[in-house]
């Protein structure tokens, strides 16, 4: 039972990260950023093309991804370039959660 309490706390800790990953349009943004080989980042206009969303909608999704620490940006003059962050803290928490869930599941096997 103690393990389930721990899992509940882990789920709560990464819930916003899971929400950020759960949206198809945000997944499309992540995939498009992964395709960017130059690592210079992409502007909102380029992400509009990838998602077929309006500028405000793309900006909204980018904010959610930034809050989840998946995306960051750099500013050059008046232009913002978005890229995937190299900080993997939230991804590491998700991997640990999945490992813990698997461990609990395996303990329940006979």
For position 45, what pLDDT does the model report? 93
For position 67, what pLDDT does the model report? 94
Mean pLDDT of 85-95: 92
Extended beta strands in 27-106, E state? 71-76, 79-84
On the question of pLDDT at 24 being above 60, the answer is yes
On the question of pLDDT at 1 being above 70, the answer is no
pLDDT in tens, 52-88: 999 999 999 999 999 999 999 999 999 999 999 988 9
40-79 b/e with 16+ CB inside 10 Å = b? ebbebebbeebbebeeeebeebbebbeebbbbbbeeeeee
Tell me the pLDDT of the chain averaged across its residues.
Answer: 92
For position 23, what pLDDT does the model report? 95
Prediction pTM value: 0.85
For position 109, what pLDDT does the model report? 65
């Amino acid at each position: 039972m103690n393990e389930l309490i721990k899992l509940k706390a882990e789920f709560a800790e990464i819930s916003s990260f899971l929400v950020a990953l759960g949206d198809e349009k945000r997944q499309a943004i992540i995939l498009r950023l992964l395709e960017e080989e130059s690592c210079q980042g992409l502007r909102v206009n380029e992400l509009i093309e990838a998602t077929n969303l309006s500028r405000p909608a793309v900006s909204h999704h980018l904010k959610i991804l930034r809050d989840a620490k998946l995306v960051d940006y750099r500013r050059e003059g008046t232009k913002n370039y978005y890229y995937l962050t190299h900080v993997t803290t939230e991804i590491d928490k998700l991997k640990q959660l999945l490992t813990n869930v698997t461990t609990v599941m395996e303990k329940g096997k006979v």
